[in-house]
Amino acid sequence: MIKLSEKWARRLAAEPETGMGYQVVTVALTDGRRFNQVVVVDGQITQVHGFAQVPFEESQISEVVVTHDKWDFGADH
């Protein structure tokens, strides 16, 4: 889990929720990798689709875009 800094948390707070209390976003990293189904809850990245743990650090993030892409979160683990 990654607690996002005020920079990202403020941007996400201005965007609509995907569901009750969460957003699904795409995260782009400075090295060009993209993660298309990332769950953010209360300013924290809690899940990345297809990964048991978040495979990046906040310092690597170059962009966060709310997409509302949905999947069965419980089916990943």
pLDDT at 75: 63
* Sign of the dihedral through C-alpha 21, 15, 11, 63: positive
Percent with pLDDT over 90 in the chain: 87
Region 2-30: what's the mean pLDDT?
A: 95
pLDDT number for residue 53: 95
Residue 77 has pLDDT above 60, yes or no: no
Give residue-wise pLDDT tens across range 45-61. Answer: 999 999 999 999 999 99
Q: What angle do CA 20, 4, 65 make, to 5 degrees?
A: 65
Pick the closest to residue 71 from 36, 42, 45 (CA basis). 36
Classify the phi-psi angles of 55: left when phi > 0, otherwise alpha if psi is within -120 to 50, otherwise beta: alpha
Instruction: Identify the pLDDT of residue 47.
Output: 94
Phi, psi dihedral angles at 58 (to 5 degrees): -60, -35
What value does the mean pLDDT take over residues 21-46?
96
